[in-house]
Amino acid sequence: MLPDSLLIYIVLAPGFAALTGLFHKWIGDRAVMAITTGVVLSCGALSLYQLFAYVAGLGGAAEAVHHASGYDAYLTAGAEVAAVELQQRIITLMPWINIGDFQANWAIRVDTLSIVMMAVITGVSGLVHLYSWGYMSEDPHKSRFFAYLSLFTFMMLMLVVADNFIQLFFGWEGVGLASYLLIGFWYTKKAPNDASIKAFVTNRVGDFGLALGIMAVFFMFRSVEFAPVLDAIRTNAVITPYAFAEALPARESVIVFFGERVYALELIGILLFIGAMGKSAQFFLHVWLPDAMEGPTPVSALIHAATMVTAGVYLVCLLSPVYEYTFYASGMVALVGAVTALYAATVGMAQNDIKRVIAYSTCSQLGYMFFAAGVGAYEAAMFHLFTHAFFKALLFLGAGSVIHGMHHEQDMRRMGGLAKLMPLTYAAMMIGTIAIIGLGIPHTKFGFSGFFSKDAILESSYAGVMASVSFAQLAFWFGLLAAFLTSFYSWRLIYMTFHGPAPHEAHGHDAHARNAHGDDAHAHDDHAHDDHGHDHKPHESPLVMLIPLALLSLGAMFAGVYFYDAFVDSKNEAFWAGAIYRAGENHVLHDRHNVPEWVLWAPLVVTVAGFLTATFTYFFNRGIGARVAASGGPLHALFTNKWYFDEIYNTTLVRGSAFLGNIFMKADKKIIDGIGPDGLARLAGMSSRGLSRMHTGYLYHYAFVIIGAAIVFGAILWLRSGGAG
């Protein structure tokens, strides 16, 4: 690991860099851009160096041969995995909360999980900063944009280096704030505002579950620090919860929830996963992610590729001791992940906005990561998170290059023939496409990054089938079908964008009427560029945008083969060093080497099938896809309208909430205020007006009042004294 001073620099420097945005009026936009970019790029370089040095220190980068022989010693080591001692470094920055048993320091916790996440976050963020120099060059609010990017990076780092749940929650909510600011960056437009609110509200739903889960952790374990909580679960220590819970071993402890006695770990696992569902856009809480593209394309890359949406996967893997000893919680992770992978893939193949297609592919790939964790292959989930960062950032930034070259056009139906006009962008998009579909040859090291990580997930899922792991069979088949659809819509994007006729040559830019783009009209990445003083012929992006594409292309090609051995194979235990926990009976990652031969070849078969289907439909017979879309069949309508989730949520949740809100508002005004403050005020007014009428100025009126009051008072005294008796 790096020295403490450099680790502190990596974590804190982006936060201080973000503060320079407050002084842009005095130091200028370019100074803010230079400081934020330089700081984040330096953090990325240090983080990547730390990761590569760590892997090299495991004994050298051995040749990574996919499914090669010679793993006998490794395959027999599964029972000892649970005994691997966690290797970590904790740097306490300052005391934070110290109230009885509630202890939470401000600290930096560095283990293998955080090393991987630090490299992913700062590496991708640094390239996004550099890319934005070209993409946002003509935006009048560049300094604010770069400050938001650095703030986002800082909050993500706070999340992944936290050593307790409270610091993690701070970073979790901070990322939510930064994403709200970035998605709604063009706040003068309705669509970005709506998208940012949608993302914010949906994430708060998930975060409510996360908060309840953290409360349950403190209630049961009397601590919010990772070390004592996870150690108690690993060792099955006897814990003494608060209040009415019984003192039992951690794995058998029960808690009363809504009047029912349930296993505490099950409840904690489900509640914390609900938080992960919101942040990582899993089924039911996925609706915000495609709309998050309303921000500039670099924001889309930052949110979708490597940072915010992967926080949920990181959380589940960090809490692997919890999910290793739960049946329902881990099953929920596998089920939701499998459904998300298939659902998003079906929707992605019917979208026409280039960024929206890639956004739904993000949802689908996150589903792979979650069902991998749900079946117990946490290492494979983190491996796919790592490789996904490269090719997904590449695809989004490549799409941004297309949008930039097409003068803000995002509808793929209005693209075509760009391969000759934008050859470098085309090459980068091809690399990203081959990586995301997982093209590679089993039993060899030939394949791009997605091949090694996705195949590891599918093989582990089938190993889970052989071990009777909950929902493993569903996950495997849904994942296999999603792989076919991923290949189809990825090649569909390539063919519609870069091949075939060029509609942009048939009409001018003014013909790109926004209302002609159907339901994708709101997604345009229109960031107030001028016309550059040239015609609207598509053009290649500037060098400052192409350099990040080149670097990400290297990761998309080689990250899988280079890191395969460390993440999921023979050096797995030494690499993770206890950061990921697997129970002694969990052998799915090992047993994937023993799956039937057809399981190894099935991903390649469906990938090629998806490629051939897309090639026939959109390359050789380009008009077929348009005719299918025009026919408006029920399946196409279902997929085009995203399974009508937006409509269902608007009808039920949004309108229902508005209806209840109106009822409560009226009840508040007419009942509470009407009887309470307003009612008392009216009563006082009426009384005062009645009394004022008695002030006539005539002496005999006052005399009658006095005599009457004396009679009443005397009568009361007489009755209280017993009256005539």
Cα 303 vs. chain centroid, distance in angstroms? 7
CB 430 within 8 A of CB 552: no
The separation between CA 101 and the C-alpha centre of its own chain, rounded to angstroms, equals 32
DSSP three-state, residue 106: strand
**Cα angle 138, 139, 145; round to 5:** 130
User: Residue 417: which region, alpha, beta or left (left: phi > 0; alpha: psi -120 to 50)?
Assistant: left
Reduced to 3 states (helix: H, G, I; strand: E, B; else coil), residue 91 is strand
Max alpha carbon distance in the chain (Å)? 118
CA distances from 163 to 59, 90, 122, 225, 248 (A): 29, 8, 19, 6, 25
Amino acid, res. 628? V
- Spatial separation of the C-alpha atoms in residues 646 and 655, rounded to whole Å: 12
φ, ψ at 137 (rounded to 5°): -60, -30
Q: What is the DSSP letter of 287?
A: T
Cross-strand partners of 164 = 225
- Alpha-helix runs per DSSP H in 82-164: 112-135, 142-160
Alpha helices in 261-377 (DSSP H): 264-279, 288-291, 297-301, 311-318, 320-324, 328-348, 354-374
The predicted pLDDT at position 504 comes to 58
Answer whether 206's CB lies under 8 Å from 315's CB: no
Q: Report the Cα–Cα distance between both ends of the chain, in Å, rounded.
A: 100
The span from the CA of 456 to the CA of 720, in Å, is 93
3-state secondary structure of 72: helix
User: What is the reported pLDDT for 430?
Assistant: 96
Residue 651 neighbours by CB under 8 Å, 6+ apart:
none
Residue closest to 436 by CA, chosen among 390, 495, 497: 390
The region, left, alpha or beta by phi > 0 then psi within -120 to 50, assigned to residue 283 is: beta
Q: Are 483 and 610 in contact (CB under 8 A)?
A: yes
Read off the amino acid at residue 361.
Answer: S
Average pLDDT of each block of 10 consecutive residues along the chain (725 residues)?
A: 92 95 90 95 96 82 40 41 72 89 90 95 94 88 92 95 95 92 86 87 92 94 93 91 79 87 93 94 87 78 74 94 94 96 92 90 94 95 94 92 87 89 94 94 92 95 93 95 96 92 55 40 46 63 92 94 93 92 90 94 96 92 76 78 82 79 76 73 77 70 79 82 65
d(CA 81, CA 77): 7
Instruction: Specify whether the backbone of 526 is left (phi greater than 0), alpha (psi in -120 to 50) or beta.
Output: beta
Return the closest-CA partner of residue 305 out of 365, 349, 356: 365
Spell out the alpha helix ranges (H) of 632-676: 634-640, 645-649, 655-667, 673-675
pLDDT at 118: 95
- Residue 65: strand, helix, or coil: coil
